[in-house]
Every structure is written in C-alpha cells, then in structure tokens.
Structure 1
Amino acid sequence: MMLSWHDHLMIVPIVLPMLVAGLMLLLGEGRATAKAVVNVAATVTLLAVAIALLRQADAGPVRVAVYLAANWPAPFGIALALDRLSAIMLLLTAIMALGSLLYSLARWHRAGVHFHPLFQLQLMGLNGAFLTADLFNLFVFFEILLAASYGLLLHGSGPQRVKAGLHYIAVNLVGSSLFLIGVALIYGVTGTLNMADVAVRIGQVEASDRMLMEAGAAILGVAFLTKAGAWPLNFWLPPSYAAASPPAAALFSIMTKVGVYVILRLSLLMFGDQAGESSGFVQQWILYIGLATLTFGTLGMLASQNTGRLAGFAVIISSGTLLSAIGFGRDSVTAAALFYLVSSTLALGAFFLLQELMERSRTFGADLLAVTLEAFGLDRPVDAEEDMSTTDIGVAIPAAMAFLGLSFIACALVLSGLPPLSGFVAKFALLTTILNPDGLTPEIGSPEPVLAWVLLGLLVVSGLTTVVSLTRIGIRAFWVPSGRAQPRLRVIEVFPIAAMLVLGIVLMVQAQPAMRYFTDTARALHHPDDYVRGIMSARQAGPGGATP
C-alpha cells in the first residue's frame, strides 16, 4: 500500500519537536530570539497538524488510523494509532503549548538555559504518549516528557523550585520504576507489549497466571495514578506546580491528563468484556480512588491561602472528578468526563498564567494593612458632612485590572462549575448521566447507586469549596483597597489567557457538536473491537501495492 503525504501527518507531532529541539541545541544559548522564533513556528505547525488529525479521526463513524513506523506489522514493530481520543488530546496539548509559549516570551524564556529545547522535548513526549499503541514505547515517551519536565520545573532557579523539584524527581523516578515492573509482569504473562495484542491475549491467560497479570496491571496503574495526581500519591503536586514558572505550570496542567488518558485507555482496552474473568478488574478501584482524590482536593482547596497551591489543588479536583467518572464504566459518563477534561484543562492553564499577573503588583503585608485600615474605618474620610455633590461616585477601573478581574471571574466560574460557562455544562452533563441511567445498559462492575449519590455530593461540595476559596482570593486581590500601583501587562501576556478563556466560551456555545464528538469517542473506547482490529490488521507499505 502506497502512503500519501497526509498519511505521514501522524508522525509529525513526534518527529517535528525532536528535530526542532536538536536544532535549537545547536544554536547555542546566545540565540534566544532565534530560538523563540523557531519554537513558535514549530508549535503553530503542531497546532495546524493537530487540527488536521482531528478532522481525519472524525471522518467516519469509527476511524482508527495506524502508522507502522518501521514498516513492520503489529505486534512486532512500532505502531502509532490515531483515534478520536488521541486526536483531541493532541489538539489540547498544542493549544496549551502555544499559549504557554507565547506567555513565556514576555520574560520567562530568558530566565534560565535550554527553555526552548526542553519545551519541544516536552511536546514530543506528550504527543508520543497519546499516539503510541505499544506499552514499551509508552514508557519511552513517558520518560522523555518527565526528563523535560524536570528541567522546566527548575527553570528560573531559586531555592523553592529546587526543593519542589527534588521531591518531584524522586516521586517520578519511583513511578518510572513501578512502570517498568508492571510492564515486565504483563509481558511475562502475555508475551507481547502491543496494547491491542495484549487486549486479544488477556482473555486467554491461564487461571494460574491471571493473578500475576492482574498484579502487573495494578502496579502499572499505580505509576499512572501517581502522574494523574491521585490520592494518596499526590502530595508532591501542589508545591511543585506552585513553585514552577507560570508557563511551565500551565503546560503541566495537561501532563496530569496523561495519567488519566492512559488509565482510561488501558482499563477499557485490557479489562473490557473480552477479558474473561478479569473483566472490570480495575473499575471499582478507579472509582474509589477518584472519590478519595476529589475529597482530598476539596479539603486542600479550602485550606489553601496561596494562589499557586490553590491552582494545584484545582488540578487534583479535576483529576479526582475524571477518575470517578471513569470508574462508573458507562459510555455516557465517559463522554461527559471528556467534555469536562477539555473545559477544566483550558481553565487551569489560563489560571496558572493569570495568577502571576494578579500577584505582580502586590507587596508584602499590603493585604493585612488594607484589611486593618478598613476595619478601623481609616480608609474613608473622617468628615461625614463632606459635600457629596462635589465628590466622584465610584472608582475608575483601569483596563489592566478590568481584564484581570473578568478573567479571574471566568476561571472561577469554569473551575467551580457555575453557570453559564463550559464548566457548568460539563458538570451538568456528568450529573445527568450519573443519576439518569435510564436506557443505559450498565457494564461489568458498574457501581451501586449509593456511589452515584456520593459523587453527586462531592461534586457539589467541591464546587462550593472552589467558589469560597476563589472568592477569598478575589476579594484579597481586587476588592480590598491596598493603594498599590496598577500592574503593567503586555499584550503577549494577556493574549494567551484571553484565548484559552474564549475557547472555553466557544466550547460552551458549541456544546452540542462537542458532545456528539465526545459521545462517539466514548462509544469507541467502551467497544474497542475496531481499535484492536485496526492495529492488528494494519498493512505494511510497499511499492506498487499492499503487503500483508
């Protein structure tokens, strides 16, 4: 089968960042402007390719494109697979990357060495993790994105970043070790690492080996639950994300979704109906861990006073919500969860960038002084007989503060799930599908109705807690008079935040076609026969025709 140029698009999200990172290393550290131009051009190209791949994946009722990188048939060679889920994750990664990169050009890209090569290597690892159809190559891309994230977390130096970075590196090295152990156990039992081939063979595993295979899957799951920020393995996340530079933290908000993506993909692929006695093996555990994570994130959100840590706990709440939804094992709940994943990731990215601009003009002790003055009435004129007819009513709001205030409100509405923005649509869809399963056929291991009410309560409480916490931060930043100078904002800092929030509004306005896409995605995930068939039957490319 001869390949046309658009058949090679699938390899571009991996090869392009790798080549660009190598080129920027050759340029040396004195060429920051040239590196920035190359980085922006490459990231814009990745965005265009991601859009093209999304259209390709949504071309038919079931569309799985397979790229045999070494032209060896599966399961012997490296295979990349593109379906609707991987396509939306590629597009979301490109959007978050471009926004973070543009924001960094204001000053952060010059705060340390090798920012631009590390940035592209991070994209290579993320894109590869979303495209690979092989567990070993998943480990390879996982390590690439982790290695790049170590450098990005430490970018800008400082004792706080070094301390958080050491914890982050130690935890992720343990996660990588667990990854290898889990993969080795699965390979030892099934004799393959191709994910589609594992799905075929898992139902044929002998009873004596089944416990060993399930142990390997559980160990592998622990590695990705750690990356997803699941309780009790998420103690590293709030301090690490709070210490990272804003553009790095915004990009990290998509990194936690790698763990969620892999858990969603492998749990439905390996432990679906075809898995025999192992069907639904991990589903209940994912639900319980998701509920615990959501509870922990809610408590942490309420206790946080620092804006960066609050954003970190918002990431944990997002992960807990997604894991809980995955644990329900219904395609309609999964579809709503995917809508929530996109909405929350955009809002989190905007919030990580926004928090630095909010803190920019604040001085140490200004908030405490302002509250004290207001409590004693010293922030108002003493003369109560002042002629109000000659006094200006209200306070003029500068454009910078108006933008920050409106952006903060938009982030708060999405993260808390209040109407009318996309966060409300996502949570409403989640609650509707969880509490209204009429017409749905519960899949193997579906949870009891009481757990649906537990999740309902946690979603409501987490939303309320987010409102309280963000309102407290908002009052401190925008309401309490502190006499501080108005912040100076650059267009290149404002544009990425505005773009992410506008995309969230577009997602709300186009909720119906978006939910159609996510519903098709969820149905394909819960019935992975076409995914397995597409990979295992992929044909080699050869001159003049197809080679079996």
Structure 2
Amino acid sequence: MTAHLPILPILIPMLGGLLMLIPPFTGPERFQARRAATLVLTLMQIACAIWLMISVTQNGAMMYAVGDWQAPFGIILYADQLSAMLIALTAFLGLGATLYSFAGTDRGGKYFHPLIQFQLLGISGAFLTNDLFNLFVFFEVLLIASYTLLIHGGGKQKTAANVHYVILNLIGSSLFLIALGTLYGTTGTLNIADMARKIPELSESEAIIAQVGGSLLLVVFGLKAAMLPLHFWLPRTYEAASAPVAALFAIMTKVGVYCIFRVYTVIFGEQAGYLANMIDAWIWPLAVLSIAVGTIGALASPNMRTLIGNLVIVSVGTLLIAFALRTPEATAAAFLYLIHSTLVTGALFLIADMLGQQRGKAFDRFVIARKIQSQTKLGILFFVAALAVAGLPPFSGFLGKLVILQAATENADRVWVWSAILISSLATIVALSRAGTTLFWRYGSSNDNEDSSLSRWQLSGAILLLAASPIMVIFGAGVIDYTNEAAAQLHDIPYLLDVMQLEGAKP
C-alpha cells in the first residue's frame, strides 16, 4: 500500500466527489448525507497526508509512475517533504472550511461538497505532479471547481467577480500552453527532473527560446499567486466569495508561489547554465512592490474582507522576498511562513463573515452598525488572528517573519528584507487596529429582536484554523526542522534525478 501512497491524495477527493454526484447523495433533502461524506473524505485526506509526511521523512522522496510508465515519458507523481507538507496543509484548511459550511452555507447548492472535493483534487495534484503539462491539467481542474464555487449562492457581486476571474484565468491558461509548447520544442520533455537535466545542455540559441518559455511561466504563476502587477483580481474575488470558499482560496495563491519555488529552483536554478537564476532580477522589485501595494491596500480597505485580501497579497510578497534570497535557509523560512499565512488568513475570512452576520446590513464594512451580540467570542478570535497576521509574539506570524529576517545574511539584502517586512507589519497593526475599533466599539442602535447567534459549526471551523498558530510556536523546533529538511531536499537537484532514475545533471 505504501508504494501507492503518493496517488491517494488525488484518488480520495476524485472518487469521493464523483460518488457524491450519484444517489444516495443527490437531491436537496440529502444534504446531511453529503455533509457526512465530505467530512469522512476530508479526514481521510488528512490521515493520508500525515502518513505521506511520515513516509517521506523516514524513507526519502517517492516517485509514482502512473500505469508503470517510467520517467521521463509517463505521468509522474513526486512526493517529497515539501509536497507532503502542502498536501497536509490543504486537507487541514479544507476541514476548517468544510466545518464552517455546515452552518448553512452548503445549502446554497447541492453540488457544493462535490466541488470542494474537486477543488482539493486539483490543488493536491498541482503539489504532487512532476510534469509541467500535468501541472497545467491540475490547474484547470482546480480553476473549473473554483469558478463554480465562487458563484455559490448567487448574486450580482459574485457573478461580476466571477466573470472577471474566469477571463483572467483563461488568458493565463493560454499563456501556459504557449510556454509549454516553447519549452517542449527546445528540451523535448516537460518532466521537471528531465528538464533540469537538459536545460544546461542547450545551445545559446535554444536557451534564448527556452528563456522565453520560462518567462511566460513566471507570468502564469505570478497571476495565480497574485504577484504585482497581476494582483488586481484578488481582493474583489475573495470579497465576493462565500466565507468557506474564501478560506479555501487562501491556499490558491500559494499554489502559484509553490510553482515558482519548484520550477525556478529545480529547472532554472543555479545549475541551469545560461539560464541560471533567470528571474532573479525581476523577483526582487516585484516582491517588494507586492508588499508595498498590499500594505497600502490594507490601510485603504473599506471592509474586512478586502483588508484580508490585501493581506494575502502582502503574504505573497513576503514569500517571494524569501525566494529572492536564493538560499536553503531562506526557502525553509518561506515554507514556515507559508503554513502560517495560509491558515491565519483562512481563519480571518471566517471571522469576518461571523462579524458581518452580526452587524446587519452593514456586514463587514467599516461603518457604524448595530452592536455585535457575541463580542467576547468574536473579540478573542479577532484579537488572536490580528496578533498572528501582524507578526506579534507569541504567535506563528512572529516566528515566520523572524526566520525570514534571519535568513537575510548579506547587508544589501537586509536593507530590503527588514525594511519591507517590518514596515508592512507596522502598517498591518494600524489597519487591523482601525478595523477592530470600528467593528467592536463603534455601533449605533441595536435590534435585539434579530437573532444572529453564532453556530457551533462556524466557531469550530474558525477555532480549528486559528489554533494552528500557537501550536506551530509550541512545536516550533520540530516544524523548523521539517521545513529545513524540505528546503534542503528541494535544492538538492542530484537527489531528485536519482529518485527519478535519471542521469545526473551536467555542470
């Protein structure tokens, strides 16, 4: 069974999602059966992800050749410590979003739970594949599911945001195919490990063509990650989505960031000859500007959901700054921060929705509205989330930002890294302080006849995601050790080629 372990995170949501499309799970009256099924499926994915993490930690990375067609010709799945960690993160985030949806969000459409499973399928496949074309396929799977989830529940705002979102991603998919065709024409392969072996062998003219393909991939991944200047779709899209969908979308930008780390470390890394570190000159300014624009957007946000969307952009810029440092230590720091930012921003979307439900027509806008009924519960959740996302001790945001600051060892790097991260953290504190003051302390007349009590499902989903922040600090040594090993494995190209049973990369 262990030999087939890498494909289980794909098979479980795929088969589970398909089964929920047939009786006895169909029909509006069968929502309890769909809830039970999706909860079981998500728990199975978490168990499988933990098993995969333990296996790759003890025994090394695993290659899975679908249909036993070996690399570089077959469909290859590659599970290392990084991909296993991200599979576990995805499943855990999916559990929190699913629990929250049980409060009633999932009743907006009978296909909500199957679509959640297909979304998890696409994300898990993107993290596990070792082939650029199959990466494109899984991108399309997760995007098609996200298109439908975005308009779940209906409404003009969701429809308008979805049209914008679909058009941009169709353009991105077209550029992705052009990039793949260009790279396949020059290297004769789209297997990531095989490309890492062949890129250094290209002639100068072939390398220039491959550089075009690699640059187009950066545009595609930058669009998925909401990297400046391709970030403008994110705040509006995340604001329009329902709370559990927005929480699950917190991992979507990280798929783009993951692809940047994987492709531009393995294929276009230090060993790539003429194309070595080809995007470094672009990443530094784009990372810093992403942090700056996201920070300004957070300060200017008119409501809580837009504020959180801009904080997602800040987190993307922070991850790209760590990537720009180009060391295993900085990569490990980025992985730690990635876990933190995904779970905390996911929890914030859920908290924003609960706050909005208790404020009546004003929802989460920063205006005077009726008094929040559950001030103590929501106040504690908001306070913890605000401290964590701002990077204040004793929560995971402080630990994540600290290790990134420590990874900047060169004086020139320190100026940019420390300035960008510390200034954005200060501005985040100001933005969240303004938000908390308005939401909790500025209120008008309240209508006590309106029941806006919190559901236990809503609280359980938010608490589950938010509890990960202090837990990451309590077990910080183990988490840091794991991310250090994952980063070292990612940077060890000969090890990847050995697992894939390919010849060593030529210098």
8 Å CA contact retained: 1:287, 1:325:
no
- SS at the partner of 2:77? strand
Partner residue in 1 for 2:466: 501
Letter in 1 for 2:499: G
289, 293, 297: which one pairs with 2:290?
293
Partner residue in 1 for 2:33: 34
8 Å CA contact retained: 2:390, 2:426:
yes
Instruction: State the distance in 2 between where 1:537 and 1:215 align.
Output: 26
- The alpha carbon displacement at 1:537 in A equals 5.0
Letter in 2 for 1:142: F
Please tell me whether residue 472 in structure 1 is matched to residue 446 in structure 2.
Answer: no
Instruction: State the distance in 2 between where 1:59 and 1:190 align.
Output: 34
Which 4+ residue blocks in structure 1 deviate beyond 6 angstroms?
none
Alignment of 1:414-493 (within 5 A): 414-434=388-408, 436=409, 449-484=411-446, 485=448, 487-493=452-458
Higher alpha-carbon deviation: 8-17 or 96-105:
8-17
Instruction: State the distance in 2 between where 1:271 and 1:368 align.
Output: 49
Q: 1:112 to 1:69 in 2, by over 3 A?
A: same
User: Highest Rg: 1 or 2?
Assistant: 1
Q: 1:307 to 1:320 in 2, by over 3 A?
A: same
Q: Which has the higher contact order (CA 8 A, sep 6+)?
A: 1
- The alpha carbon displacement at 1:273 in A equals 2.9
Instruction: State the distance in 1 between where 2:284 and 2:55 align.
Output: 33
Letter in 2 for 1:223: V
- The alpha carbon displacement at 1:284 in A equals 2.8
Instruction: State the distance in 2 between where 1:344 and 1:298 align.
Output: 15
Instruction: State the distance in 1 between where 2:361 and 2:48 align.
Output: 46
Higher alpha-carbon deviation: 362-371 or 117-126:
362-371
Q: 1:332 to 1:357 in 2, by over 3 A?
A: same
Higher alpha-carbon deviation: 523-532 or 178-187:
523-532
Partner residue in 1 for 2:44: 45
Letter in 2 for 1:165: N
Partner residue in 1 for 2:359: 362
Please tell me whether residue 100 in structure 1 is matched to residue 92 in structure 2.
Answer: no
74, 77, 80: which one pairs with 2:74?
77
- The alpha carbon displacement at 1:511 in A equals 1.0
8 Å CA contact retained: 1:129, 1:142:
yes
Partner residue in 1 for 2:56: 57
Letter in 1 for 2:407: T
Instruction: State the distance in 1 between where 2:272 and 2:341 align.
Output: 32
Alignment of 1:322-333 (within 5 A): 322-333=319-330
Partner residue in 2 for 1:518: 483
Q: 1:79 to 1:243 in 2, by over 3 A?
A: same
Partner residue in 1 for 2:149: 152
8 Å CA contact retained: 1:84, 1:521:
yes
- The alpha carbon displacement at 1:487 in A equals 4.0
Encode CA deviations 1:335-388: one digit per residue, 9 max, x unaligned. Answer: 1111111011110010011101111121346975579xxxxxxxxxxxxxxxxx
486, 492, 496: which one pairs with 1:527?
492
Q: 1:370 to 1:173 in 2, by over 3 A?
A: closer
Higher alpha-carbon deviation: 209-218 or 457-466:
457-466
Partner residue in 1 for 2:17: 21
Partner residue in 2 for 1:176: 173
8 Å CA contact retained: 2:283, 2:321:
yes
8 Å CA contact retained: 2:90, 2:123:
yes
Q: Which runs of 5+ in 2 are unaligned?
A: none
Instruction: State the distance in 2 between where 1:224 and 1:430 align.
Output: 22
8 Å CA contact retained: 2:325, 2:413:
no
210, 218, 221: which one pairs with 1:221?
218
- The alpha carbon displacement at 1:29 in A equals 3.1
Instruction: State the distance in 1 between where 2:345 and 2:17 align.
Output: 26
Instruction: State the distance in 2 between where 1:163 and 1:477 align.
Output: 27
Encode CA deviations 1:169-213: one digit per residue, 9 max, x unaligned. Answer: 011111111111111100000000111000000000111111100
Instruction: State the distance in 2 between where 1:44 and 1:471 align.
Output: 36
- SS at the partner of 1:274? coil
- SS at the partner of 1:66? strand
Instruction: State the distance in 2 between where 1:149 and 1:185 align.
Output: 28
Letter in 2 for 1:29: G
Q: Which runs of 5+ in 1 are unaligned?
A: 372-394, 438-448, 539-548
Letter in 2 for 1:411: A
377, 398, 401: which one pairs with 1:403?
377
Please tell me whether residue 308 in structure 1 is matched to residue 305 in structure 2.
Answer: yes
Instruction: State the distance in 1 between where 2:321 and 2:281 align.
Output: 9
Partner residue in 2 for 1:273: 270
- The alpha carbon displacement at 1:287 in A equals 2.2
Higher alpha-carbon deviation: 474-483 or 463-472:
474-483
8 Å CA contact retained: 2:234, 2:309:
yes
8 Å CA contact retained: 1:133, 1:194:
yes
8 Å CA contact retained: 1:79, 1:535:
no
Letter in 1 for 2:391: G
- SS at the partner of 1:58? helix
8 Å CA contact retained: 1:370, 1:482:
yes
Q: 1:370 to 1:494 in 2, by over 3 A?
A: closer
Letter in 2 for 1:11: I
Partner residue in 2 for 1:543: none
Instruction: State the distance in 1 between where 2:249 and 2:75 align.
Output: 27
Return the TM-score normalized by structure 2.
0.94
8 Å CA contact retained: 2:322, 2:330:
yes
Q: 1:471 to 1:77 in 2, by over 3 A?
A: same
Instruction: State the distance in 2 between where 1:83 and 1:264 align.
Output: 14
- The alpha carbon displacement at 1:23 in A equals 1.1
% same residue: 40
Encode CA deviations 1:456-477: one digit per residue, 9 max, x unaligned. Answer: 1111111111111111111111
